[in-house]
């Protein structure tokens, strides 16, 4: 992937010429951070039963303790994601956007190899037995820190490297890359599982699944070594000549100075206290992030093979059905990208919420009645489609738009941290809820899905009553939503005037 292409395009509306292939190449390098984000969070789905067999079962714990430890082990990377999200602002400013991504890539690489062979340095693979659980969790947390860093730095890098007329399209690539990472690892896990029986997967296959992440991590690291940092960060550090050189890679030589001047002007900003626009602004942002996780999406994605096995399918079939889940996720994420600016943010969230609520309530009922099979698979796919076309990408769009510029960085960081914490809670609690013998005796594994259906209904009510519609608004005008006496949901009715 070259970062010195010569092709040049002209956008008459702006009067600025730019080298679109150069900007696209750099953006695609950064989207590997998003790809690894999806890959590393979903790779665990194929190894859950092996982790239980190797690290949890030999401890002979009580039911609650066993399920709690298993849930923590599987979701431990999310604890690292919270730490990485909190560190991402520091990394972006101190190390640079590129430097922060290089750190994330190195963490991905070490984590993938370490989680696959946590006995390394202590003896041959498997020599520690259940005692390897500690190092395993440590490596998963390290990978989570890399995910947390990449979840902020990759889209930030793209936004700052892209010419104005390409920015929206290029930034949207990162969301698709996340989904492609999830889909890709499902195929990898399925392909590895086909190489042997369940016993082989539990002894060897799970290591290959987790270790496979080292390949895209290494590619990401090597490509970043050839990529420049963003002009914005270089200007922040006073490296104006380097910033101009980078701009000449993605803009015409004649326009580099004028674009540089715009970047310098954009850095003259005022910051405010987090609650300077009132508590409602912060409340809506945090709650929107939490609901994105409380609807249960990551419980379904992380534990998909286990869910399908509980429906009576073999390990091989369960992983193949998980690939189908990933394909639907990818297809309907594309639907969201194509429709969010046409239909608006709130309508998509409401429609998606309705689809998810109906699907989860139906799935819980199917489990409760024992009527599983192709119908349950279809319901899960409908749920994934509903999320992918709405609460997956659209929440990120809203979070990037709805906060006033003066407090955007602070509130966005808090919202991202809340999202990762909610993700951790849902991923850990699913194992507890789905493995509880009392709940299963009464609801036959259906309780958790009914809970996610109820959360989807609450999310719909929240969106209608509290979330503003940002479609058609300039970023500078969103502060009107949060002025005293205004209702964000009511103010949104006039969004088209901006």
Whether 236 is covered by a domain: the verdict is no
Residue 260 resides in a domain: no
Choice between 122 and 467, residue whose per-residue pLDDT is larger: 467
Looking at residue 222, its pLDDT comes to 96
pLDDT band for position 14 (cuts 50, 70, 90):
very low
Q: Is residue 245 part of a domain?
A: no
Claim to verify: residue 191 and residue 317 sit in the same structural domain: no
Report if residue 261 sits inside a domain: no
- The residue that leads in pLDDT, 104 or 270, is 104
Which range among 69-78, 184-193, 287-296, 437-446 has the greatest average pLDDT?
A: 287-296
Q: Which domain holds residue 172?
A: 20-227
Inter-CA distances, 49 with 129, 203, 384, 431, Å: 15, 11, 23, 12
| 143 lies in some domain | yes
183 half-sphere exposure, CB direction, 13 A CA radius: 18
Specify the pLDDT at position 428: 76
Q: Are residues 276 and 196 in the same domain?
A: no
Confidence of residue 279 (pLDDT cuts 50, 70, 90): confident
Nearest CA-CA partner of 229 in 409, 84, 412, 102: 102
The count of structural domains within the chain is 2
Q: Are residues 308 and 444 in the same domain?
A: yes
The pLDDT value given to residue 303:
63
Same domain, residue pair 159 and 105: yes
Least confident among 75-84, 437-446, 451-460 = 437-446
Asked whether residue 350 is assigned to any structural domain, the reply reads yes
pLDDT in tens, 449-483: 899 999 999 999 999 988 888 776 644 466 667 76
pLDDT band with cut points at 50, 70 and 90 for residue 290: very high
Q: Which residues pair with 10 in a beta bridge?
A: 17
Same domain (yes/no): 110, 163: yes
Residue 13 has φ and ψ, to the nearest 5°, of -60, -35
Say what the pLDDT of residue 498 is: 35
Region 130-137: mean pLDDT is 88
User: Residue 494: its pLDDT value, please?
Assistant: 44
**Same domain flag for 222 and 283:** no
pLDDT at 487: 58
Q: Note whether residue 107 is domain-resident.
A: yes
Of 163, 194, 227, which marks where a domain is finished? 227
**Range of weakest confidence among 242-251, 317-326, 354-363:** 317-326
pLDDT tens, position by position, 322-343: 677 778 888 898 888 788 777 8
pLDDT of residue 78: 80
What local confidence, expressed as pLDDT, does residue 10 receive? 36
Of 185-189, 415-419, 478-482, minimum mean pLDDT range: 478-482
What per-residue confidence (pLDDT) applies to 424? 78
Contacts of 191 (CB under 8 A, 6+ apart): none
Between 200 and 478, where is the model more confident? 200
Report residue 78 as tokens: 């999310």
Residue after which a domain boundary falls, among 227, 252, 281: 227
**What is residue 20's predicted lDDT score, i.e. its pLDDT?**
62
pTM of the model: 0.72
Question: How confident is residue 201, by pLDDT bands cut at 50, 70 and 90?
Answer: confident
**Length of the chain, please?**
498
Q: Are residues 281 and 213 located together in one domain of the fold? A: no
Residues 217 and 279 in one domain: no
Q: Which residue has the higher pLDDT, 384 or 416?
A: 384
If asked whether residues 73 and 176 sit together in one domain, one would say yes
CATH number for 484 = 1.20.1250.20
Mean pLDDT score, 238-264: 73
Q: Which residue has the tokens 């073999």?
A: 314
The owner of tokens 């286990």 is: 306
On whether residue 251 sits in a domain, the answer given is no
Q: Dihedrals φ, ψ of 17, to 5°? A: -95, 150
- pLDDT grade for 15, boundaries at 50, 70 and 90: very low
Q: Are 415 and 288 in contact (CB under 8 A)?
A: yes
C-alpha dihedral over 396, 298, 103, 28, to 10 degrees?
A: -60
Same structural domain for residues 289 and 430? yes
Domain boundary among 227, 256, 284: 227
Beta-bridge partners for 16: 11
Please provide residue 20's backbone torsions phi and psi, each rounded to the nearest 5 degrees. Answer: -60, -40
Kindly state whether residues 39 and 169 are assigned to the same domain: yes
Co-location of 222 and 276 in the same domain = no
Query: Residue 169's pLDDT is what?
Result: 65
What pLDDT is attached to residue 136? 92
Task: Look at 245 and 133; give whichever has higher pLDDT.
Answer: 133
Whether residue 11 is predicted with pLDDT greater than 60 in this model: the reply is no
What are the tens digits of pLDDT across the range 138-154? 999 999 999 888 887 88
* Dihedrals phi, psi of 484, to nearest 5 degrees: -55, 135
Lowest mean pLDDT among 105-109, 118-122, 200-204: 118-122
248 against 379, higher pLDDT:
379
Reported as a single tens digit per residue, the pLDDT across 372-392 is: 777 888 888 999 999 988 998
């Amino acid at each position: 992937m070259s970062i010195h292409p010569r092709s040049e395009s002209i956008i008459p509306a702006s009067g600025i010429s730019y080298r679109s292939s150069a900007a696209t190449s750099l953006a695609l390098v950064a989207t590997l951070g998003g790809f690894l984000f999806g890959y590393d969070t979903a790779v665990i789905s194929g190894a859950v039963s092996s982790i239980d067999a190797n690290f949890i079962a030999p401890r002979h714990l009580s039911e609650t303790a066993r399920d709690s430890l298993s849930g923590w082990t599987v979701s431990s990377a999310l604890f690292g994601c919270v730490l990485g999200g909190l560190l991402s602002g520091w990394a972006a400013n101190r190390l640079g956007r590129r430097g922060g991504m290089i750190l994330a890539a190195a963490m991905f690489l070490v984590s993938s190899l370490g989680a696959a062979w946590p006995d390394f340095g202590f003896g041959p693979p498997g020599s520690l037995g259940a005692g390897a659980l500690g190092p395993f969790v440590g490596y998963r947390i390290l990978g989570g820190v890399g995910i947390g860093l990449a979840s902020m730095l990759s889209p930030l890098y793209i936004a700052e490297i892209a010419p104005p007329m390409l920015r929206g399209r290029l930034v949207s690539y990162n969301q698709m890359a996340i989904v492609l990472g999830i889909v890709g690892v499902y195929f990898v896990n399925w392909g590895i599982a086909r190489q042997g029986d369940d016993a082989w997967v539990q002894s060897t296959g799970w290591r290959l699944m987790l270790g496979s992440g080292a390949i895209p991590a290494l590619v990401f690291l090597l490509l970043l070594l050839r990529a420049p940092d963003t002009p914005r960060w270089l200007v922040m550090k006073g490296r104006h000549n380097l910033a101009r050189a980078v701009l000449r890679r993605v803009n015409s030589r004649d326009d580099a100075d004028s674009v540089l001047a715009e970047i310098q002007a954009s850095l003259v900003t005022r910051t405010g206290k987090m609650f300077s626009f009132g508590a409602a602004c912060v409340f809506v942002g945090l709650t929107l992030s939490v609901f994105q996780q409380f609807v249960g999406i990551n419980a379904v994605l992380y534990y998909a093979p286990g869910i399908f096995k509980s429906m009576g399918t073999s390990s091989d079939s369960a992983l193949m059905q998980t690939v189908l889940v990933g394909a639907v996720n990818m297809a309907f994420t594309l639907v969201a990208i194509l429709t969010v600016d046409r239909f608006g943010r709130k309508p998509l969230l409401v429609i998606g919420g309705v689809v998810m609520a109906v699907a989860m309530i139906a799935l819980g009922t199917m489990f409760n009645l024992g009527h599983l099979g192709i119908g349950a698979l279809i319901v899960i796919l409908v749920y994934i489609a509903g999320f992918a076309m709405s609460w997956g990408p659209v929440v990120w769009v809203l979070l990037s738009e709805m906060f006033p510029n003066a407090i955007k960085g602070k509130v966005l960081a808090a919202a991202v941290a809340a999202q990762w914490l909610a993700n951790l809670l849902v991923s850990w609690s699913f194992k507890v809820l789905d493995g509880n013998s009392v709940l299963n005796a009464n609801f036959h594994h259906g309780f958790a899905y009914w809970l996610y259906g109820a959360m989807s209904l609450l999310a719909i009510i929240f969106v209608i009553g509290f979330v503003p519609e940002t479609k058609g608004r300039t970023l500078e005008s969103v502060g009107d939503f949060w002025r005293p006496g205004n209702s964000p949901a009511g103010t949104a009715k006039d969004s088209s005037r901006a």
